[in-house]
Structure 1
């Protein structure tokens, strides 16, 4: 085509693939598109502008501008974790796709539904189609396999090749993202396709509902229930059953019927009320034996990726182990095994209700009463030992004291996000959350989730107070300059409490776990200190007008927490950096 050629124009109808794509998201329950925009998104931006002019903004999801892609993903995850409804993230070709890598890991490992959309570099360069290449960057960003960047983490990926079936692709992607086990999906769309005319009549979202929950087969119910009913000391281990809030009271009924204690291993949710007498506490990277697990004769694993660490605290070899999970084989984990006599795939809430009814029919009431009495005594012993640690060390603030003060300052309805890393166990043991849905973790291992997720959580539940408990490393990973700018723009205030130990404690702990007497240990030379120390609240103040304060002495802590919470409840974000012992 010569230089004087006229580029083809967009459709006369104005109904483009971009508009159909956005409508399909809204039809599928997506309320927010968390977006970081680029040269591949003109059709998207035009569709939003036309909707505003024509007064039909309600037909499209709200666009939330995110200065960093990682924060966009974290916010989408926070919203989906609170509501159970997948949201959308819009990023710029392969560069933006790579910038969401850590949060994509969290979505996959935490089993959170989210739809990722990225443009692709235009596939014409001479003006053959409307949307053809017109910027130098579109040659540089053209890669061999953009979808391959994410394929190890997504449940589904596809390319939008025509506007004729774009709604079908979006509805199918959301159906897959929302079906158990939930997870991320990825769509790409070249600019020419997204700018082209699309038919207005397309697929019906009613035909793309998530897969219905699966139940246990009757013989499996009998086998597991008989083992629990006849056990001497049954134990239930769970990590993420509490994603389904209604499954938590069902698990209480099952454990009361069986007289079984509950261990939460690496929990990212409230899986069982911490104050319940059958709650036997938490396991994280515990480097010692757990006698409650080792003495159990029947162990039921209900939704857990790491129910124990085999070299440290596994059940005894004679214990009967049963695994019930929506993902019982962990086929995305190359090395994984639990020595169980039965593996069953089922919706956890459905399975627990089935087992509860059958155990109640089979169990001897007097035997169960004795089990429950022993379990309650163990619960009291465990928590009494922890309560003794909830005091400062002179004027030095200990992590246990900090969490205890947070527990006293918040109410049951407060939504707490935890990313305290080496203080994960401290948060679990001393925050003692009871209400389903009142505590969330990322479910994965990539840091920087919490403060961005707090934005999505607040948008999902604007009436709730949102508090994030994070390490100083997690806080910096979270791109606080972007987070607090967004929090102010979108009226999504939260309180961030930073465990400020002036460094990365996790790598130090890992090094000590492998080389307890090594050179690094002898010289205390781990290369993990943050020196000079950063002004953590100052970042939030500068970027988003947040309230900020650093607390160094124990007698300042309670007043600092009270003031910070008052600020947040008045509509302004707050960051309280608390210098704690620990490095």
Structure 2
């Protein structure tokens, strides 16, 4: 008996591929993994395996792996319990899929023997109940790849292939399952070279496409760039700045989940989310270049004019996983965004007319200054009432450029972007998807990925509760990943109310203010974090106390302890 099992080979393969952390919620399907870790520690070989991070809730594990990969570009692993644990990460799996983030998700499977024929055979009642027809089918709509580990003899190949697919653009989650008997089985020591499983190399634009787009931009009267996630690659942001400066191209960020363009740049033309009115800047454009966006505009509300020429450049230009999607573009091109922008930049410099560029730059800068002036006028409390704009302005004042901000403020997404005004690529992250609760675990993964940076999460009260804060705060305490959570506490769900008003502005719900969205009676939101994770907590109800509390909270976080500040803003 060598003690070298499929489980040991599986964990070795993860480490060989650069996986530093396994975020785990363990169950009866994982004895092989538990034993492999214990044996490695007993033999002083634990450094050869990824560090195990225990997460009492699966969504926390998935979100932590998600944000770690966002910051480093290296997928991490999540281990969950058969079908039940797989279903428990559903919302966060959606976020990783829609945010194009590589994560390797592993779940055990119920043992396939029941008479003791093999080590790991069924010995608990739950293993009959958790034996489902198609466990892999639970996640198939959200993963790039799924497979079953059937033998330890090729487990390293499966792991490296899965991670190769997870890292290849468009990146995304992958899923492996392993029956208990297989993961317990002894095998010869396994070897595989991860260098032979590199992700697909970045794709470039064809020369003819570069020429077509560059000529359209150079010859336009009012060109505009629209982007949502070019900033997934922080190195692409400076290249976009150079492209835009070469032709004086203004930039609009549509539902951004990353910093795509410095907010203080004179060519930055603001943000659009769910505004129910037209964007006059987009309407006036005669050429629109969409660089990485799933929702560049909402067709019924703020689309470009019918005569505008539209071009789409994206790692996923026709949104193959979205059943209903269309932009009436004359050209769709698949390319790595940083590579494409660099190509366009070089050709644009050759085509640029200095007089035209100077005139457009002056007009764009004037619009940028107008927007800044208008926003500054909103950054005041209403007496002692804390407005969302004032709250974000206070956060902006107390953090520095190096602070990593996670945004999950939902109905205040636009307020956060407009008033936080981040300028450093990679300093602002969102989930990329639509399932709430991401930031709680994401703060853990972000701090593990960037231990020297201060992590601040801006969340709604609903998002905070969705994040299972009791679990997240406990994990943060155990693994030394302190962060500051600032809650926009409007005492309810504002998003469903806004959606109802958007469809039924004069309905009975509006007439009677009957939306079923109140969180009364009020919960002690910081108290949850204090009880579960030993966090420092405060609730702020008046504007005059806000800045002082935020400064104190940041001092606490920098000393090594998490802090949660719940800020009362106008009620929903």
How would you bin the TM-score normalised by the shorter chain? over 0.9
For 2:48, the equivalent position in structure 1 comes to: 59
Please say if residues 107 and 114 of structure 1, whose CA atoms lie closer than 8 Å, have aligned partners that are also in contact: yes
Task: Give distance in 2, aligned partners of 1:383 and 1:529.
Answer: 34
- Aligned to 1:312, the other structure's residue is in SS state coil
Q: CA deviation at 1:566?
A: 0.3
Task: Give distance in 2, aligned partners of 1:240 and 1:163.
Answer: 39
**Which of 92, 100, 108 is the aligned partner of 1:103?**
92
Please say if residues 234 and 258 of structure 1, whose CA atoms lie closer than 8 Å, have aligned partners that are also in contact: no
User: How many matched pairs?
Assistant: 572
**Which of 4, 29, 34 is the aligned partner of 1:15?**
4
For 1:3, the equivalent position in structure 2 comes to: none
Task: Give distance in 2, aligned partners of 1:519 and 1:369.
Answer: 54
For 1:328, the equivalent position in structure 2 comes to: 317
For 1:249, the equivalent position in structure 2 comes to: 238
Please say if residues 9 and 190 of structure 2, whose CA atoms lie closer than 8 Å, have aligned partners that are also in contact: no
For 1:313, the equivalent position in structure 2 comes to: 302
Please say if residues 34 and 75 of structure 1, whose CA atoms lie closer than 8 Å, have aligned partners that are also in contact: yes
**Which of 500, 504, 508 is the aligned partner of 2:493?**
504
Task: Give distance in 1, aligned partners of 2:38 and 2:356.
Answer: 68
Task: Give distance in 1, aligned partners of 2:443 and 2:187.
Answer: 37
**Which of 209, 223, 239 is the aligned partner of 2:228?**
239
For 1:9, the equivalent position in structure 2 comes to: none
Please say if residues 112 and 182 of structure 1, whose CA atoms lie closer than 8 Å, have aligned partners that are also in contact: yes
**Which of 47, 60, 78 is the aligned partner of 1:71?**
60
For 1:514, the equivalent position in structure 2 comes to: 503
Q: CA deviation at 1:528?
A: 0.3
**Is 1:153 matched with 2:142?**
yes
- Aligned to 2:300, the other structure's residue is in SS state helix
**Is 1:128 matched with 2:117?**
yes
For 2:459, the equivalent position in structure 1 comes to: 470
Q: CA deviation at 1:455?
A: 0.3
Task: Give distance in 2, aligned partners of 1:310 and 1:475.
Answer: 31
For 2:517, the equivalent position in structure 1 comes to: 528
- Aligned to 1:313, the other structure's residue is in SS state coil
Alignment of 1:421-460 (within 5 A): 421-460=410-449
**Is 1:34 matched with 2:23?**
yes
Q: CA deviation at 1:582?
A: 4.5
Task: Give distance in 1, aligned partners of 2:209 and 2:286.
Answer: 18
Task: Give distance in 2, aligned partners of 1:14 and 1:180.
Answer: 38
Task: Give distance in 2, aligned partners of 1:93 and 1:190.
Answer: 9
**Is 1:142 matched with 2:137?**
no
Q: CA deviation at 1:506?
A: 0.3
Q: CA deviation at 1:84?
A: 1.1
Please say if residues 165 and 203 of structure 1, whose CA atoms lie closer than 8 Å, have aligned partners that are also in contact: no
Q: CA deviation at 1:201?
A: 3.4
Structure 1 residues 82-139: Cα deviation after superposition (integer angstroms, max 9, x where no partner): 1111000000000000000000000000000000000000000001111100000000
For 2:386, the equivalent position in structure 1 comes to: 397
Q: CA deviation at 1:203?
A: 2.2
Long gaps (5+) in structure 2: none
Alignment of 1:235-384 (within 5 A): 235-384=224-373
Task: Give distance in 1, aligned partners of 2:39 and 2:329.
Answer: 58
Task: Give distance in 2, aligned partners of 1:522 and 1:452.
Answer: 39
- Aligned to 2:470, the other structure's residue is in SS state helix
Task: Give distance in 1, aligned partners of 2:12 and 2:371.
Answer: 53
Task: Give distance in 2, aligned partners of 1:226 and 1:373.
Answer: 21
For 1:550, the equivalent position in structure 2 comes to: 539
**Which of 481, 490, 499 is the aligned partner of 1:492?**
481
**Which of 385, 389, 401 is the aligned partner of 1:412?**
401
Task: Give distance in 2, aligned partners of 1:260 and 1:582.
Answer: 40
Structure 1 residues 12-66: Cα deviation after superposition (integer angstroms, max 9, x where no partner): 1111000000000000110000000000000000000011011111110000000
RMSD: 0.5
Task: Give distance in 2, aligned partners of 1:267 and 1:505.
Answer: 20
- Aligned to 1:67, the other structure's residue is in SS state coil
**Is 1:213 matched with 2:194?**
no
Task: Give distance in 2, aligned partners of 1:161 and 1:253.
Answer: 51
Please say if residues 220 and 287 of structure 2, whose CA atoms lie closer than 8 Å, have aligned partners that are also in contact: yes
Structure 1 residues 367-396: Cα deviation after superposition (integer angstroms, max 9, x where no partner): 111101100101111121111000000100
- Aligned to 1:390, the other structure's residue is in SS state coil
Structure 1 residues 173-217: Cα deviation after superposition (integer angstroms, max 9, x where no partner): 000000111100000000000000122133211100011000000
Task: Give distance in 1, aligned partners of 2:246 and 2:513.
Answer: 51
Please say if residues 507 and 528 of structure 1, whose CA atoms lie closer than 8 Å, have aligned partners that are also in contact: yes
Task: Give distance in 2, aligned partners of 1:527 and 1:198.
Answer: 57
Please say if residues 492 and 571 of structure 2, whose CA atoms lie closer than 8 Å, have aligned partners that are also in contact: no
Structure 1 residues 521-567: Cα deviation after superposition (integer angstroms, max 9, x where no partner): 11111000001000000000000100000000000000010000000
Task: Give distance in 2, aligned partners of 1:298 and 1:582.
Answer: 41
Q: CA deviation at 1:159?
A: 0.1
Structure 1 residues 387-419: Cα deviation after superposition (integer angstroms, max 9, x where no partner): 100000010000000000000000000000000
Task: Give distance in 1, aligned partners of 2:346 and 2:360.
Answer: 18
- Aligned to 2:127, the other structure's residue is in SS state helix
Structure 1 residues 221-273: Cα deviation after superposition (integer angstroms, max 9, x where no partner): 00000001111111000000001011000000011111110000000000000
Please say if residues 156 and 190 of structure 2, whose CA atoms lie closer than 8 Å, have aligned partners that are also in contact: no
Please say if residues 164 and 202 of structure 1, whose CA atoms lie closer than 8 Å, have aligned partners that are also in contact: no
TM-score normalized by structure 2? Answer: 1.00
For 2:39, the equivalent position in structure 1 comes to: 50
